[in-house]
Amino acid sequence: MGDDQRGDAGQGTYVEEGAAFTRDENYISDRITADGASGWPVEAGRYRLVAARACPWANRTLIVRRLLGLEDALSLGLCGPTHDQRSWTFDLDPGGVDPVLKIPRLQDAYFARYPDYPRGITVPAIVEESSGKVVTNDFKQMTLDFSTQWTALHRDGAPELYPEGMRDEMDALMQTIHVDVNNGVYKAGFAGSQEAYDAAFLALFARLDELSERLSTRRFLMGDTITEADVRLFTTLARFDAVYHGHFKCNRTKLTEMPVLWAYARDLFQTPGFGDTTDFRQIKQHYYIVHRDVNPTGIVPLGPDTSVWLTPHGREELGGRPFGDGTPPPPVRESEAVDPAGRA
């Protein structure tokens, strides 16, 4: 299994003594596009998004799908927060079987297309419902395609999350966030040497300080409105105090001790699409139970207190319009609501 699987789905050994953590970023690169050039055309009801609330990469797809209103076009299957050595599993569903794909393990969709698939069985993944075959697990491209290729199926009032005139700047910013923050916490947590850990730790907090400075004068990363860049940063910030600060030794400061980033994170959390797709209980269960070489006992901490995410953030003073010319998404549908216990 690939390193990406080690970091996000618990396969095999996480920490290799003396080595730096390297993520396997070779994903299934097929894309679902408006013109169907790759053989996978955008089509309502054809595909199923398989995600897990525990996973930050999958959490991005849940947020973007909801913001753009793709719930009716793209069905959702949710894996549980823990799994065995083989694959993410559908243990949240009756009988442990996905009700649409009729499979107990996500690996079944991968093997349906590639019987000898050699890499990690990762979420998020998009599966063709009729064939049961995985189409793509390229999480970076997936959400960009939701914004640019699935436009005919967007809800009325869907925000523009990947504005054409900002893409060069956004792409560069999102890459630095990925290297030093999104993946940076993993490089610290799975470091196999003091030197590798030190380098990841220093790069992480240097980048967080830089982002804090950027956000001190603008409400969102690209200015007045929410974009894909904010989605990508949020899912790491949402897990910071609950997991990365202690479990991954990213402990220079807690998120709650970084005033600008903490206010920014609360602003997003209280925006429809962000907090209502975040399940703190599943997040903690995944990291603390699955990563046994980091946390051998498997004990899940009771804290921190998550009610603080609902306290006033004051970011309105910076102005801005979170959804630009669009509108907030409607209330989350009951079948996809986060268990209240996961918000406590």
Catalytic residues: 55, 186
Residue ranges at the known binding site: 88
Sign, CA torsion 279/283/284/285? positive
Instruction: Give residue 196's identity as a one-letter amino acid code.
Output: A
Residue ranges at the known binding site for glutathione: 88
Of 308, 300, 311, nearest to 344 by C-alpha is: 308
Contact 136, 142 (CB under 8 A): yes
Sign, CA torsion 77/81/85/90? negative
Contact 210, 149 (CB under 8 A): no
SS (H, E, C) 63-116: HHHHHHCCCCCCEEEECCCCCCCCCCECCCCHHHCCCCCCCCECHHHHHHHCCC
Give the whole-angstrom CA distance, residue 194 versus residue 63: 35
- Token code pair at residue 262: 């903490």
Contact 174, 232 (CB under 8 A): yes
